[in-house]
Structure 1
Amino acid sequence: MTNLPHAFQGLTLTQIGVLVPDLALGIQTYKEVLGLENWAIYTFSSAVVPNLTYRGQTANCTFRIALAGEGPQIELIEPLSGNSVYAEWIEARGYGVHHFGFLVPSLVEMLGRLEVEGCVRYKPEAATA
């Protein structure tokens, strides 16, 4: 298991993103385990998000998300089709926790602190060079 960078110490965890193979089953499981109700469900694709990109290129993918709770919010993500960061993650690591969201006072400052700690940030321009 990888430790979180020191830059995140003391910050508020606001979201846990989890990749699931079946959104309806994931919602049911989190309702039963954590008692989460009132899920907001969204479907994203290039038809809905015209500037959707993946690795610096126009993305042709579809995925659904379900959001519930707070402190932290749970985000369930079900990739449906196409190449995406989610499909890439599942291929490399399988289903499960994908990301943690933190409330940061300054994104620019946080990116600088993470870079100092050696965290690599994806840069779209590098994918097309």
Structure 2
Amino acid sequence: MKNHIDFKDFLQIAIIVKDIEKAAKVWADILHVPVPEIRIDKPSENPDLTYRGKKAFYGLKLAVIMSKERGIMIELHEPLEGESTFKEFQNKHGNGVHHLGFVVGPDRRDAVVGEFEEMGYPIRTLGYYPGGSWTIIDAEDDLGVNLNIKPFA
């Protein structure tokens, strides 16, 4: 890849689970950390969120376990109603690693994502939020996992 991703840019592992409360407690016990807060995002109209090129409308439970020492995180996702990349993965695979996340310079994000698209890995989901964005690259058929490309500020 011309616009490669550095291993030092590794940021997250996102795991799809069917019972986030149970998974959060078990992960907290394994890692000897507090049980993370579980955020519930109900479906809402969001013009800054797409799934497979169309406006997305879905619900999701999310918990984040952060390692400040390493600068990496484990995200637990429990898909709720509506079609999403997370629900698609769960329907196809059940529980499992949905994506690995990498952070790149904001001036590199479009080049990295564009090169993945040229290689045959399309954007599955694109989301914007104040001060940032996330882009899920559909790579699970070849790589066994999707990729999340996030620009840092």
Q: TM-score with structure 1 length normalisation?
A: 0.74
Give the AA of the match of 2:56. Answer: A
Where does structure 1 lack aligned partners over 5 or more consecutive residues?
Answer: 1-5, 125-129
1:43-58 superposed matches below 5 A = 43-47=40-44, 50-51=46-47, 52-58=49-55
Shift of 1:53: 3.5
| Counterparts in 2 of 1:62 and 1:10: CA distance versus 1, 3 Å | closer
Q: Which amino acid aligns with 1:26?
A: A
CA–CA separation in structure 2 for the residues paired with 1:57 and 1:114 = 20
Counterparts of 1:26 and 1:121, CA distance in 2:
30
**Is 1:114 aligned to 2:109, yes or no?**
no
| C-alpha spacing 1:44/1:97, structure 2 compared with 1 (3 Å) | same
Identity of aligned residues (%): 28
Letter in 1 for 2:122: R
Structure 2's unaligned 5+ residue stretches are 126-153
- Partners of 2:21 and 2:38 lie apart in 1 by 10
Q: 1:92-103 alignment to 2 at 5 Å?
A: 92-103=92-103
Which stretch of structure 1 is more off in the superposition, 102-111 or 72-81? Answer: 102-111
Written as runs of structure 1 = structure 2, the 5 A alignment for 1:17-96 is 17-37=14-34, 39-47=36-44, 50-51=46-47, 52-70=49-67, 71-96=71-96
- Cα distance 1:84–1:115, how it changes in 2: closer, same or farther (>3 A)? closer
C-alpha RMSD of the superposition: 2.5
Choose 1 or 2 for highest CA Rg: 1
Q: CA deviation at 1:84?
A: 1.3
Q: Contact 1:11–1:104 (CA<8 Å) still a contact in 2?
A: no
The residue identity in structure 1 corresponding to 2:111 is E
Q: Which residue identity lines up with residue 31 of structure 2 in the other structure?
A: L
In terms of fraction of residues, the more helix-rich structure is: 1
The 3-state SS of whatever aligns with 1:81 is coil
The structure 1 segments of at least 4 consecutive aligned residues displaced by more than 4 Å after TM superposition are none
- Could you tell me the TM-score, scaled by structure 2's length? 0.64
Q: Distance in 2 between matches of 1:33 and 1:90?
A: 23
